[in-house]
Structure 1
Amino acid sequence: MTLEINLDQHGPAPQVQFLHNVRSTENEVNTPAFALRKFITFIAGGEVFAVDMEPVQEIIRLPDIVRVPLAPPALKGLSNLRGRVLPIISLRSIFGFAEMAYDEANRAVVINVGQPLGFVVDCVTNMVTVEPHQVEAVDPIGSSVDSGLLSGFIKDVGGHAMIMVLDLSKLIQREFSYLAAFTKRPSLDCLSVGSHSDVAINAKANLMANDELKLVSIHIADQEYAFAIDHVQEIVQLPDTVMHMPDSLPQVMKVMTLRNRILPLVSLRRMFSLPDKALDEKNRILVLTWQGTSIGVVVDAVNEVMRIGKTLVDPMPSLLFDGGNMADIAEICRLDNGARLVCIIQVHKLFNHSIIKETLNSLTDRVEKTVANSVNAGLQEPADDDEQMVVFRLDKEEFGVPVDSVQEITHVPNELRQVPGAPTFIEGVINLRGSVLPVIDLRLRMRLPRVERSSEQRILVFLIDKLRTGFIVDQVAELLKVSRSMIELSSPLSIQHGKLLTRTANISPQKRILQLLDTSHLVDDDELKSLASIGS
């Protein structure tokens, strides 16, 4: 089986033919080919490591990562790998190296250890083939790296003086003991691992990818613009039916529904103060995402998806950068020997524009009212193959709870009333229609940092063991029907995680991962007694 090295994290990746960049020893020694050992080598924290080829399934660029609360520090989060949930683990964190911002060189080495796991490395360097006697014992190693996580080392191979061979079973057992027990269970979901005899890595392909930008170019009023493809979720035609958004700004044309989500449609012509043009069959909507939020941008036409060298990109000339309509454009790329200029729109700046912020806040309020009315008024039973979820956000991640577990949704008051002698996990209480409601900050329950109170925060009220309790969340996003076929059991990454975040909804078409809470485990028995005494 040939190892697939996936350099494109968006959709089905093109197959890349990789070349050997080291000489194979199979033709130079008399050792039988079946006795030779093959390793993938990579760098993490300035040290060179290797893993045996056999359990390696593929090597991919770093995908979008959903952070997981209550997980070990080395777990960076979860990602979507072609419809499967893939835990992403930092080798830098495991070995105590300083974490660094990810860049184009980083890769995730996907290894089957009973279930697929993605290990983040600084860069992949090589594939080496060695004789068994070249893998030496661990004891002689004089290294700052914890030798308890190594199975041996290789000297003077692949251009490296010393390569440390990881012992993945020990690594998983030490760092993820709860997961290690889980992965020993038989599972039909584990991906099979085939032969590793035809594997090679093309280092040149990696270097080329690091020096390129992948863009979607568009036309607006005869000018060409582009977005980084990383932020383009999809491109769709104008729908037959769109809805008017009352009291919306002129730049917001309409709203539409896209896969059960309400999407505001923003005109880039109006954003850039260009004259309006009647819509026709050439118009397209680019669905852009930034930090879990989406908008639809209406453009005159989509031109192409292109890769360009970073050397062709220049900063926007200061004379053209007026801080107003051009504030979202910071770079220009020069194509066709300078005859073709493409302005690159910075997605994060677009989302920080006051018009976009006001539109998203207004839409959030309307969605929230719909969700709250549905929860408080009672809902029809969803179809047997769907589950209805209230989706909310903590920090940048999305979580879900079954709609029938939510008693109601209410605003967070300016001040929570403090109760003398109350446990520290209780933020305070509020008067909810004559009843005392204890309130807990869900961020702290999930071991996330505390944030200042904001107008977007809400209190979700759950009934836990016949006791009503409120939990503060950053934002209520939507009411969503999720097909049961998209829901799977979560791999338990710690005892707390295994109890509370029991399931994951992997919504592949939208590239979304919802972590689903079991609300019955939000508080333990002793905490319930404290809550009951306050409520009474």
Structure 2
Amino acid sequence: MSTDTPPTLAPGAAPVHAVYASFLLGEEEFALDVRYVQEVIHLPATIVAMPLAPDFCLGIFNLRGSIIPLLSTDRLLGTPRPLGPQAKVVIIHHLGIRLGLTCDDTCHVLRPRGDELTLFAYEDQSSHQVVAGVLKLGDALVRVLALERLIRLDNIPHPEDTLSAHAAAKARRARKKAITFSAGGIPMAFPIGGIHEIVRATGIEPSPVQDPLCEGVLHIRQHIVPVVQFARLLGLATTAANNNPEAQEQRVIVLEIEQNYIGLLVDTVDSIDTYTDDQVMAVPVLSRQRAAMFAGCIDFGTRGHVFLLATQGVFELDEINRITGQHSALFTHQQTAQVRQHRAASRMSFLWFKAGTAFALPMREVREIVQCPHDLLAIPGAPSHISGMFNLRGKLVTVVDLRYFYQLAGTVPLPCEEDKILVVDHVDALIGLRVDSVESILHLYPEDKFPMPQVLRGALAPAIRNDVREVVRVPDSGERPIHLLVLDISRVLAQVAATGEALEPA
């Protein structure tokens, strides 16, 4: 890494009894105080790229439950080059912070005399000056890295950040829900409580506000919601909308805090997952201006690492405040604060999904949503609508295929990898409802839900008719409104139990 201010020799004697470990970097050596070298490991198989990362940060990796930022020593020293197949990582631990530095191999343990170590001083005290000095060993010069400067680079969290996050995680163990999504190729998630709803990107209309981050606006009932291209906000590659099949999967995640709304355009919305605060690991902050929006990182096993974002942190970003402020100045709401608060309190959350036809379930009834496992355990003698069982974190889940259960005409089950499982509680068991797809999460007002019309009830198959008493209308669904059948989950589960299938206890 280049330096703006050339170093000068620092006054004072060098430490007399210091011991250093040296490492190879191409044909050169660099050294670190051996007291702070925790271990040397092979280059991790999985390195997760981070949004807003500077060029010297290669990403993060999981080391026995701790998230470690991986820094390219070559780039820090201004000599970038590709990593070799035998590259190693030096783990340093100083003042409660762990970092990984790349190297080609370990080299020597050095015990220099005081006159063999020359320390540098920098006039501007910039944190980017990471070379503390040089060791003069015969004709060789070995650069000594400054640990106190490395841990204070702008993208490294302070010790108190890590400790406070760890303490908070130990204090809260209740399972929570998050919506996982992808933007610019990076997997991320928002806690479900801050999400107002999720809609398709096709409803975005032009905005009179000219801002490079603003994609347009959405009309959601009485609200004008500005939509921000989230990948662009994070400095990531964006998906072009013109004639791009990937753009058809784009969704807008609408966030809300105290009747303030912002829409985030993302590439895909993937699933609903559960987690505990114990699973949330601290991550390096890659931009101090955006530090508040990163709550941590969750390891979902085979699905990899997902960055958990903080809804409040998004609303605190200067760019978001600018865009929402500009739109608020142009559009005014007709409702008083009292009416809006009353309506907000009366909202209901529904999960919109498809299983041969369009259904809805109250979100409070859905424990979580998972991808249909490839290795469902078949149950000998089970009815055709029982797909099998699978293990969900030590609990058995009996899977009921709603398409077979309701004998929906013309339904051909999709391959297992395309299906979703809605996990619900039933007495002392877990039941998984196997469906075609999960479309969205809707936050509806009382006027969007009404009893099943008799004319519609008569058109339903008898098996479905007994389990549906209400329908909901999808807001802003155009001239031909979309109506969803609201399943009475207690009736559904009672019918499942009545088939005689023994449900395994959770």
Q: TM-score range with shorter-chain normalisation? A: 0.5 to 0.7
Residue segments in structure 2 that go unaligned for 5+ positions in a row: 1-14, 122-126, 167-171, 242-246, 333-506
Amino acid at match of 1:76: L
Give the deviation of 1:420 after TM superposition: 3.1
Relative distance call for 1:535 and 1:166 in structure 2 (3 A) is same
Partners of 2:30 and 2:79 in 1: CA distance: 14
Q: Which residue of 2 aligns with 1:52?
A: 33
Amino acid at match of 2:261: R
| Conserved 8 A contact 2:56-2:75 | yes
| Conserved 8 A contact 2:294-2:313 | no
Give the deviation of 1:50 after TM superposition: 0.9
Relative distance call for 1:520 and 1:139 in structure 2 (3 A) is closer
Match of 2:271 among 468, 473, 478: 478
Asked if 1:120 corresponds to 2:104, the answer is: no
Q: Which residue of 1 aligns with 2:145?
A: 166
User: What does the per-residue CA deviation read over 1:380-409, in whole Å, with 9 as the maximum and x for residues that have no partner?
Assistant: xxx962111101112332211111211222
Relative distance call for 1:35 and 1:139 in structure 2 (3 A) is closer
Q: Which residue of 2 aligns with 1:386?
A: 175
Q: Which residue of 1 aligns with 2:234?
A: 446
Relative distance call for 1:69 and 1:535 in structure 2 (3 A) is farther
| Conserved 8 A contact 1:134-1:154 | no
Secondary structure of the residue aligned to 2:35 is coil
Asked if 1:86 corresponds to 2:62, the answer is: no
Q: Which residue of 2 aligns with 1:131?
A: 112
User: What does the per-residue CA deviation read over 1:235-272, in whole Å, with 9 as the maximum and x for residues that have no partner?
Assistant: xxxxxxxxxxxxxxxxxxxxxxxxxxxxxxxxxxxxxx
| TM-score, normalisation: structure 2 | 0.52
Match of 1:498 among 281, 286, 291: 291
Give the deviation of 1:153 after TM superposition: 2.1
Give the deviation of 1:186 after TM superposition: 9.1
Number of residue pairs aligned between Structure 1 and Structure 2: 298
Asked if 1:521 corresponds to 2:309, the answer is: no
Amino acid at match of 1:529: G
Give the deviation of 1:481 after TM superposition: 0.7
Q: Which residue of 2 aligns with 1:67?
A: 49
| Conserved 8 A contact 1:88-1:117 | no
Q: Which residue of 1 aligns with 2:328?
A: 532
Partners of 1:128 and 1:189 in 2: CA distance: 36
Partners of 1:457 and 1:442 in 2: CA distance: 11
User: What does the per-residue CA deviation read over 1:472-500, in whole Å, with 9 as the maximum and x for residues that have no partner?
Assistant: 11211111011222124444343233211
Amino acid at match of 1:84: S
| Conserved 8 A contact 2:22-2:110 | no
Secondary structure of the residue aligned to 1:88 is strand
Q: Which residue of 1 aligns with 2:199?
A: 410
Asked if 1:455 corresponds to 2:248, the answer is: yes
Amino acid at match of 1:527: I
Give me the identity figure in percent: 22
Alignment of 1:327-476 (within 5 A): 385-413=174-202, 416-432=204-220, 435-453=223-241, 454-476=247-269
Amino acid at match of 2:148: S
Partners of 1:462 and 1:139 in 2: CA distance: 49
Secondary structure of the residue aligned to 2:133 is strand
Partners of 2:26 and 2:292 in 1: CA distance: 34
| Conserved 8 A contact 1:409-1:458 | yes
| Conserved 8 A contact 1:42-1:121 | no
Partners of 2:116 and 2:268 in 1: CA distance: 53
Q: Which residue of 2 aligns with 1:216?
A: none
| Conserved 8 A contact 2:67-2:282 | no
Relative distance call for 1:48 and 1:147 in structure 2 (3 A) is farther
Partners of 2:309 and 2:161 in 1: CA distance: 23
Give the deviation of 1:162 after TM superposition: 1.8
Partners of 2:165 and 2:224 in 1: CA distance: 46
Relative distance call for 1:488 and 1:147 in structure 2 (3 A) is closer
Q: Which residue of 1 aligns with 2:376?
A: none
Relative distance call for 1:447 and 1:189 in structure 2 (3 A) is closer
Relative distance call for 1:83 and 1:95 in structure 2 (3 A) is same
Relative distance call for 1:535 and 1:60 in structure 2 (3 A) is farther
Relative distance call for 1:171 and 1:50 in structure 2 (3 A) is same
Give the deviation of 1:36 after TM superposition: 5.0
Partners of 2:179 and 2:22 in 1: CA distance: 44
User: What does the per-residue CA deviation read over 1:64-97, in whole Å, with 9 as the maximum and x for residues that have no partner?
Assistant: 1222223444222221101111111122222232
| Conserved 8 A contact 1:71-1:497 | no
Alignment of 1:273-352 (within 5 A): none
Q: Please say which structure displays the higher CA radius of gyration.
A: 2
Amino acid at match of 2:328: A
User: What does the per-residue CA deviation read over 1:334-357, in whole Å, with 9 as the maximum and x for residues that have no partner?
Assistant: xxxxxxxxxxxxxxxxxxxxxxxx
Give the deviation of 1:148 after TM superposition: 4.4
Match of 1:155 among 118, 122, 136: 136
Partners of 2:231 and 2:256 in 1: CA distance: 19
Q: Which residue of 2 aligns with 1:512?
A: 304
Relative distance call for 1:416 and 1:119 in structure 2 (3 A) is same
Amino acid at match of 2:40: I
RMSD of Structure 2 on Structure 1 (CA): 3.3
Partners of 2:28 and 2:177 in 1: CA distance: 48
Give the deviation of 1:171 after TM superposition: 3.3
Partners of 2:330 and 2:294 in 1: CA distance: 27
| Conserved 8 A contact 1:107-1:122 | yes
Amino acid at match of 1:403: I
Amino acid at match of 2:322: D
Relative distance call for 1:384 and 1:83 in structure 2 (3 A) is closer
Amino acid at match of 2:143: M
Secondary structure of the residue aligned to 1:522 is helix
Partners of 2:222 and 2:100 in 1: CA distance: 52
Partners of 1:76 and 1:473 in 2: CA distance: 23
